[in-house]
Amino acid sequence: MMSRLLLLLPLVLSLSPLRAQEATSGEKIVSAARKQVGVTLIYDGTYVTLDYPGGDVPRERGVCTDVVIRALRDGLRLDLQKLVHEDMRSNFSVYPRNWGLSKPDKNIDHRRVPNLQAFFKRRGYALPVTKEATDFKAGDLVTCTVAETQPHVMIVSDKKTDGGVPLVIHNIGSGAKEEDVLFTFPLTGHYRWKD
């Protein structure tokens, strides 16, 4: 009798309403991004030859895109380096020509905000850009322009200000940080990863 009960225990536990819900994609992205705070301490956009796939610069350094790349890789097991490179190889003409390249470069293409914007839009992840705090969910990716011309990308946090505005996790010059700057810069894109 006891052995029959033990055999049924996994089934009973799987049907239990008290079982913890699996984290959403957004929650996984935020958790992985937050783990970079205090680890990625240096802003460094130096061109580096990377392993492929799965290449990365040393964790203590990087740029805004590296926060996103690592969050998707660690949180969702998705390799933006490989995804962007493969899409650019097949569709190079639809990507920005800002750097004068004649073909994709697996070492840098995924580390450039305009390329990520093109990739996210092509994948159907684009949402309307608004100034309504409630339109932004944890794990959303938001692009903006800083210093009038520099493209930047941030991850929307699950933490909010007292006024209900989500914080963001990003590297804007001194390592990965979680800050209240969502509406500080002109927004240029809003993207949500689809499960």
Please state the domain extents for the chain.
23-191
d(CA 170, CA 150): 14
> Given pLDDT bands bounded at 50, 70 and 90, which one contains residue 60?
very high
Q: How confident is the model at residue 44, as a pLDDT?
A: 97
Q: Whole-angstrom Cα distance, residue 69 to residue 189? A: 17
Q: Would the pLDDT of 84 be above 80?
A: yes
pTM of the predicted protein model: 0.89
Class of domain 23-191: alpha beta
Chain centroid to Cα 98, Å, comes to 22
- Name the residue type at position 97: R
pLDDT in tens, 17-36: 444 578 999 999 999 999 99
Amino acid letter, residue 83: L
Is a pLDDT exceeding 80 seen at residue 143?
A: yes
Q: How far is CA 110 from the centre of its chain?
A: 12
What's residue 194's pLDDT? 84
- What pLDDT does 21 receive? 76
Let me know: does 39 contact 60? Beta carbons within 8 Å.
Answer: yes
The chain-wide mean pLDDT, for the chain, equals 92
The dihedrals phi and psi of 92, each to the nearest 5 degrees, come to: -55, -35
Q: What per-residue confidence (pLDDT) applies to 102?
A: 94
pLDDT band at 136 (very low <50, low <70, confident <90, very high): very high
